[in-house]
Structure 1
Amino acid sequence: MTYSPLTTYTLRLGDTCLVLAQRLTGWCGHAPELEIDLALANIGLDLLGQGRNFLSYAAEIQGEQLDEDRLAFGRDERQYHNLLLAEQLNGDFADTLMRQYLLDAWHVALFSRLLHSRDLQLAAIAAKAIKEVRYHLRFSRGWLVRLGNGTELSHQKMQSSLNRLWRFTGELFHADELEISLAEQGIAVDPRGLRDEWEAEVFSALNDASLVKPQEAQYRTGGKQGLHTEHLGPLLAEMQYLQRAYPELQW
């Protein structure tokens, strides 16, 4: 199926939220302590709600008898447009927390601009989401600083997680022709314009956490165009199993 540029852009936003939400569900019952378990679950629910809003709007734009469920459970790996960072494995708590923090900082910068979109529905979704992602950022930054300045082991784990995930951050600011065109129309946010705010937040937090910014590495991109790492396929297989096994199932 060929999507319109606005549908594709909306799917990019929704898929990143949905995939990250699915990742966070893996911590239910397994987090280091009950408070964190509940916090990660609530953040996951916020992201799921954001993903639903974007996917519902994408289905509305595209028509063709689509709905949020068909988009979530009926597309294959190459048809997903999420950022590569969102699909990375949970690993240990340090990996999950670092992934979350890097995306939280990006989401705050993104939604604070998207709420001024000329597309009223995108602006409305962003206006609701910005309140949620600001809380997400407070949570993840707080733990980033706490663990970075904690024990020698917690500091080492946080630095190692940062080093592993850093190569996926370049994609946060990579713009293709679709995004540039929609941004020029006042609809989308040009991701290149998010870098300064994101770096100011992230570099400040890393300094507070006594963590060192990794050396520049070859960045990985392609998620927004459907070119993913080996981790997305198994995630979708788990997420989509029931609908694939029992198509059109109604509860």
Structure 2
Amino acid sequence: MSEDHVYMTLAEGHEDDTRWAYGTGFEDPLHGVDTTVPEGIDAAGLAATCVALADDALVSAQRLAEWITRAPELEEEVALANIGLDLLGQARLLYSRAGQADGTGRDEDAYAYFRDAADFRNVRLAELPGGDFAFSIVRLLVLSSWRLAHFERLVSHPDPVLSAVAAKGVKELTYHRQYAAEWAVRLGDGTEESHRRMRKAMEQIAPYLGELFTACDVRDEVVAVLRQVTEEAGLPMPAYRPSPGSGRDGEHTEHLAPLLAELQSVARAHPGATW
């Protein structure tokens, strides 16, 4: 492994990242932002975009939360939990914006807890079971790279709220990607067993890459990151092909419904409760 870690290279251009904790930046990202949907913007389209991005984040956060008490080290347990909290924070802001944009006034709880699996629009890679640590690292690398590239484009979105959420998310996702890249190189260039597990994880995730590129045209950026990391880790680039279906269209794996049942159980058992 080279002396200049690949994740440091990936951080170039994001020098403002303080990195001392995930999800920090206690300033309200929407402070002073006009929440009125600007004229000329398709409100329904804006709401749909926000819901899809929020669903990606919520489902990913729930999968990361499953590592609590199960991570290989306490430090990694805290790191994964806090990455999940970052994503949960993004989901809350995006759901709130969706409720404003679509005119329903629905709050974040309505979107998160009171929709069925068929109504979710997250990409399917996010909902797959966690598997081993190698699988979760590869998935985090892919999803954070993809989401970061997407959010970098959304910073210039004409909706000021979505733009502000994206700007905050870019800082968080940059660190998520760095964290995943560091572990990918460590495991890929580690022991024979860790290398084997990483290769297997790449193979398991490959069938879901096409959906990401269909959902958002950032293929070149994501492929460049994956190529850089896999070369450093001594791993093969995961092959990808066009996806025959998409979670964006409500076509999900059998794993989403059980995940949501666990996530939503308390809220549905006590509708309207506050705590």
User: What TM-score do you get using the length of structure 2 for normalisation?
Assistant: 0.82
Distance 1:18 1:4, change over 3 A: same
Q: Distance in 2 between matches of 1:13 and 1:216?
A: 22
Aligned twin of 2:66: 26
Give the alignment partner of residue 230 of structure 1, picking from 254, 262, 265.
254
Give the alignment partner of residue 203 of structure 1, picking from 217, 227, 236.
227
Q: Deviations over 1:98-157 (max 9, x none)?
A: 110100111121111110111111100000010000000110000000000000000000
Query: Offset of 1:62 from its aligned partner?
Result: 1.9
Query: Offset of 1:214 from its aligned partner?
Result: 3.5
Q: Distance in 2 between matches of 1:109 and 1:227?
A: 24
| Structure 2 counterparts to residues 183-222 of structure 1, below 5 A | 191-192=216-217, 194-217=218-241, 219-222=243-246
Aligned twin of 2:182: 142
Q: Distance in 2 between matches of 1:204 and 1:6?
A: 33
Distance 1:8 1:29, change over 3 A: same
Q: Distance in 2 between matches of 1:109 and 1:144?
A: 19
Contact 1:168 1:221 in 2 (8 A): no
Query: Offset of 1:63 from its aligned partner?
Result: 2.9
| Larger CA deviation: 57-66 vs 214-223 | 214-223
Higher helix residue share? 1
| Structure 2 counterparts to residues 55-70 of structure 1, below 5 A | 55-70=95-110
Q: Deviations over 1:70-124 (max 9, x none)?
A: 1100100010000111111101101111110100111121111110111111100
Aligned twin of 2:208: 168
Contact 2:121 2:247 in 1 (8 A): yes
**What SS does structure 1 have at the residue aligned with 2:190?**
coil
Q: Distance in 2 between matches of 1:169 and 1:52?
A: 26
User: What TM-score do you get using the length of structure 1 for normalisation?
Assistant: 0.90
Aligned twin of 1:183: none
Contact 1:163 1:214 in 2 (8 A): yes
Please say if 1:10 is aligned against 2:12.
Answer: no
Query: Offset of 1:215 from its aligned partner?
Result: 4.0
Aligned twin of 1:240: 264
Number of positions where the alignment pairs a residue of Structure 1 with one of Structure 2? 233
Q: Deviations over 1:199-223 (max 9, x none)?
A: 1111111111111123445635310
Q: Deviations over 1:160-211 (max 9, x none)?
A: 0110111111111115xxxxxxxxxxxxxxx22x111111111111111111
Q: Which runs of 5+ in 2 are unaligned?
A: 1-42
Contact 1:80 1:226 in 2 (8 A): yes
Which residue type is aligned with residue 108 of structure 1?
Answer: L
